[in-house]
Chains A and B, each alone.
Chain A
Amino acid sequence: MAGALTLAPAIALLPFVAFLVALLGGRYAENALPRGGALYGIAATAGSLLLSAWVFLAVSVGTTTTEHVWTWVAGAGLPFDLSFGVLVDPLSALMVVIVSGVSLLVHVFSLGYMNAEGETGLPRYYAGLGLFTASMLAFALSSNLFEAFVFFELVGFCSWWLIGFWFREPGPASAAKKAFLVTRFGDYFLLVGVVGVLGTFGSAAFAGSEAFPTLAAAALEPGGEAVRTFGFDAGTWFTILALLILGGVVGKSAQFPLQTWLPDAMEGPTPVSALIHAATMVAAGVYLVARIYGFYALSPTALTVVALLGGFTALFAATMALVKREIKQVLAYSTISQYGYIMLGLGSGGYVAGVFHLLTHATFKALLFLGAGAVIVAMHHDEDMWKMGGLKSRMPTVYWAFLAGSLALAGIVPFAGFWSKDAVLYHALTVGLGGQPLVLLAYAFGLVAVFFTAFYTFRMVFLTFHGEPRSETAREATAADANMRYPVAVLGVLATVVGIANVDTLRGIVGDRVLFLERWLNGSLPAVAGGTAEHYHELVVDVAGFHQAAVSPLLAAGVTLVVALLGLGLAWTWYNVPEPTERTDALGPAKTVLYNNYYQDEFQTWLADGVARPFGRAVDVFDASVVDGVVDGVSTGSLAASKRLRRVQTGVVTTYASQLVTGLVVLLLVVLLWRWF
């Protein structure tokens, strides 16, 4: 099976070829692109999926590799080299399967959403999807932090490209710019972190003998080999580096306070929202944390920050989702909230739990977005849930799949989200009770957010599919195309069953053998030493000092489930009626605050307009008056001086001679006087 791993780079190259074909074909040979290039994209992503599955199988029999592909910068005098490579281990194999799978379904779905709707500029659309898929897969397979950074930026660029697909309208154009700028802001920190890692360890590799998490762990041991820590204590410096890298994670995974771009990104085509802004690109951030988990596990501070940030974001975003009118806005906030859970899981030491929730969330959120896309097409691009209603009988396939996804999102047993969210919360609870009050606080945030999640999810389901149609379009809605139905149905089945990958909650009852994901993530070989879930757990316990208190998993799961059912029940009583009303009006002014996202957009605009702009203007004034003044003064002074001085150039040779003689005499006098005194 080792042959599969040599083909690993092709996983990322296939969509890249599709990108080139769509881009060049769209420019020079439109006729050579049936369906706007969709077929090439589908073929390429299907190929990637097959290769990924093959690689997945190869890894499952215990083959892993970290391989060097290309050196960009290297030299004898350099303390490090910048290179590109491929790392195939359980985590990356899992990720490429998720990414290529979702990408394939999104390509197929796009046939119905984009082609059937008569969009123009389709080669541009499919080129963007291809480049995105290629860079995301390459990111997942990156073998070092520098390479990961390059592809991290590329996926951000593709996000800009695809959000702004309808660039002639002001909304998408501005949303694309916002998404790019906000994530870039986080990426500045990441860039500094990458440079810091290279400067500290001289290597940014994820795995192998030179892996920087391994070097960091060695440096922390008494008598370990010292690394350059720029005057800080080693532990402090590693925490600083981890938090810098976290900056990029917060931007890409839309965590507080950089989450404002994600809801706006819903201006893009819905398949793009499903692919980029739910299942894959936003996953890049948390994937990066999981990738270098061995580094985070060394610092209790960094872990606590990750957990607290995640827990807070989970609750914060969930409250905003309560009052939204547009179906995609609810999903956008739930995405932010769910990535908060993943961060909470990772931050509280639950590596497996975090990766598990990443997997299940990718499935059910892609499903919900594609389902919402089908609804939006049926509603002729009206996204207001208050104009829907009663779609259940008109689009049954989409309804049942959407319901499965919603149950998974709300965390109702036995759907996928229940198992993973419970694993995350269980980890946060036990670590919190084990002497980490801040993690316990994060758990409390997460638990309250479970209630809100169940409520807003089923508010969305009931408003969209139940009751009486509330508009003419909803009355006349027809079932979705096969191109849209099949991806939704496939994901619907997956969202129902993918939870059995790791029934952590039933650990004591069913035995460890069925914890497939945990065994999967443990299955590393010496080639990628230090990358196993078991090893991470040891680090979290021994180095970071996160101990788990003994709590019955079933009890914790029961609490979570009851809270979720309460939220569901409230949504049921309020909205599962023929003529629902806006019950959230009871919140009064709080609703306005929530509806306006706590005025964060206004705050950020104020930051730009009220702080950055005056500051820039002041700097400009300083530049124009002081800096330019000095430069101009020097030139004006020398001009004026030379205007006078040039008078000595009389053109009369006698003058020059007398000047020479005078100079000579003065020199002689000086030398003589010097000698004499």
Chain B
Amino acid sequence: MVPLQYYLLLSAALFCVGVFGVLARRNALVFLMSVELMLNAANVVFVAASAQYGEVDGQVFSLFVMALAAAEVAVGIGVVLALYRNFKDVDVTKATTMRW
């Protein structure tokens, strides 16, 4: 059995990739994907911990996270669409009208 630490490291790596994507990329769609990555990093931990301790709670939670992710994408796509309609672009750094 693969020790838990490896899963945690994998999860942390995935999460950091997601964070990097959010911070460094400009495309709103890539934003959504990066958020997906972070959610899945969490899922990895849930599942790994569930397997480690022999409880099903973690697996149940990962199902919730997937449902949440689906809902998030539904809203997120809507936001991206609105962004595109208003600014003719999906570059998040262009949408700076709500500033000081």
Contacts and interface: CB of A to CB of B under 8 A. Distances in A.
A658 B23 contact: yes
Interface in A645-665: 646-647, 649-654, 657-658, 661
Interface stretch (B2-10, B40-48, B88-96): B88-96
Interface residues on A, range: 10 to 19
B22 A649 contact: no
B14 to A, nearest CB: 16
Interface in A628-677: 646-647, 649-654, 657-658, 661
Contacts of A649: 98-100
In this complex, which of A650, A651, A661 has the most chain B Cβ atoms within 10 angstroms of its Cβ? A651
Contact of B100 (A646, A653, A658): A646
Contacts of B100: 646-647, 649-651
Nearest to B20: A661
In this complex, which of B23, B26, B97, B100 has the most chain A Cβ atoms within 10 angstroms of its Cβ? B100
Contacts of B98: 649, 651
Contacts of B99: 649-652
A652 B23 CA distance: 11
B23 A657 contact: yes
B12 interface: no
A24 to B, nearest CB: 64
Interface residues of B, number: 12
A110 B91 CA distance: 95
Contact of B96 (A647, A651, A658, A661): A651
Given A646-B100, A649-B100, A654 B95 contact: no
A652 B93 contact: yes
A654 B93 contact: yes
Interface string B56-72: 00000000000000000
A653 B95 contact: yes
A654 B97 CA distance: 14
Contacts of B23: 654, 657-658, 661
A652 B93 CA distance: 5
A649 B93 CA distance: 13
A652 B92 contact: yes
Contacts of B17: none
B32 interface: no
Contacts of A647: 100
A32 B95 CA distance: 81
B19 interface: yes
Given A652-B92, A653-B92, A654-B92, A661 B19 contact: yes
Nearest to B28: A653
Contacts of A651: 95-100
Interface of A: 646-647, 649-654, 657-658, 661
Q: State the 4 A-B residue pairs at the shortest beta-carbon distance, nearest first.
A: A651-B99, A651-B96, A646-B100, A649-B100
Given A650-B96, A653-B92, 19 more contacts: A646-B100, A649-B98, A649-B100, A650-B99, A650-B100, A651-B95, A651-B97, A651-B98, A652-B92, A652-B96, A652-B99, A653-B95, A654-B22, A654-B23, A654-B26, A654-B92, A654-B93, A661-B19, A661-B23
29 contacts: A646-B100, A647-B100, A649-B98, A649-B99, A649-B100, A650-B96, A650-B99, A650-B100, A651-B95, A651-B96, A651-B98, A651-B99, A651-B100, A652-B92, A652-B93, A652-B96, A652-B99, A653-B92, A653-B93, A653-B95, A654-B23, A654-B26, A654-B92, A654-B93, A657-B22, A657-B23, A658-B23, A661-B19, A661-B23
